[in-house]
Amino acid sequence: MKVQLRHNPASTIARCFLAGGEPMRVESGAMVAHSAGVTLQAKAEGGILAGLKRSVLAGESFFVSTFTAPQQGGWVDVAPALPGDMLNLQITPDRPFFISRGGWIANSHGVQVESKWGGFANLFGGEGGFGLRAHGDGEIVVGVFGAIDVIDLQPGEPITIDTGHVVAYDLAMNFTMRRAVSGRSIQSLKSGEGFVFDFVGPGRVLLQTRNPGAFAAWAGSVASSG
């Protein structure tokens, strides 16, 4: 699978080119268009239990769509629900990634994507304790709200990131979660920041410049006030 990004960064679409007979997995509802002859099969990937884990715990759809190219090859266009950028991330056997809730859009046949417990840091950070573990050999397409920042940390290099802005990170990375104002819940709430991650390199972290949870809260307050 080869990925070409278009209309980025505000309204990005990823065109995934497939060789003859090559399949790719796509989040349900993320397909925008595909070339002639591409076939579609939708099912609960890994069975009903895996589908429930993916939908209830990881925030993805119960069903996964598998698109397969005809003999002459083809392409599939995919896009996230929220406006923003996309990124094709290379996955290798020695470098799996954790993908936060709602970030996964599609992946090539050589990559396995499964629900994974991201630790209490994610749970108490308000972003959901489960996400997706992407491992294997190939590419994964990730969608974000806003623009993407890719941060490559050197060994021992620290960074602090609001939990709602984290999209993906190297599973081998060390990180902890804490209140934005250490030890002071009220001060954290006053600051507008609830919880943050402290990452330490080496490794890669993907950020989104907008927070979907904060946007949902704002939209809800506007709707209720109207």
pLDDT in tens, 20-76: 999 999 998 899 999 999 999 987 555 444 544 444 444 445 568 999 999 999 999
Query: Do residues 20 and 72 make contact, with C-beta atoms less than 8 angstroms apart?
Result: yes
Alpha helix segments (H runs only) across 72-169 = 120-124
Whether 184 has a pLDDT exceeding 90, the answer reads no
Residue 97 half-sphere exposure toward CB, CA atoms < 13 A: 26
Query: Do residues 22 and 69 make contact, with C-beta atoms less than 8 angstroms apart?
Result: yes
Whether 153 has a pLDDT exceeding 60, the answer reads yes
Q: With cut-offs at 50, 70 and 90, classify the pLDDT of residue 226.
A: low
User: Across residues 117-128, what is the average pLDDT?
Assistant: 44
Instruction: Quote the pTM value.
Output: 0.81
